[in-house]
Amino acid sequence: MTRSMLVRDHMSKNVVTLDPEMEILRAGHTLVNNDISGAPVLDKHGVLVGILSERDCMRVAIQADYHGVPGGLVRDHMSVNPQFVDPEESILDLARLFLDGRFHRYPVLANGQLVGVISRRDVMRAMSEFYPL
């Protein structure tokens, strides 16, 4: 059992990422096939440029209902300038971010590079380890 309350010890390190030039339908299938609700979008240099969420993909489906066939590129539908957290940040500080914000996950960046993703569920697991029954 990890007794650390730092993001680095509870984040997911095997991160599914998307390319901004990927077709949105393929990206949506990637989220579904990996059972994740969103993924960081990295450019060809590995720089975080956005986040694509289930919510973004649902907007595409609704637009397709009105305009016809769903399509476009990830870059056209992702959220840009995403917030991120540091791996040395406290889980409790992150819990406050989750409570005050609308995000379900944050990319974790160290020295500008993506090193993981941490979700609300990861925070709950960390807290249950730190405060066992």
- What is the per-residue pLDDT for 4? 80
Residue 28 carries which side chain, given as an amino acid letter?
A: G
pLDDT tens for each residue of 90-122 = 999 999 999 998 888 999 999 999 999 999 999
Tell me the C-alpha distance between 109 and 123, whole Å: 17
**What is 7-130's CATH superfamily?**
CBS-domain (3.10.580.10)
DSSP state letter for 44? T
pLDDT at 27 over 90: yes
| Burial class of residue 16 in the structure, from the number of CB atoms within 10 Å of its CB (0-12 exposed, 13-18 middle, 19+ buried) | middle
pLDDT at 70 over 80: no
Indicate the domain borders of the chain. Answer: 7-130
- What is the per-residue pLDDT for 103? 87
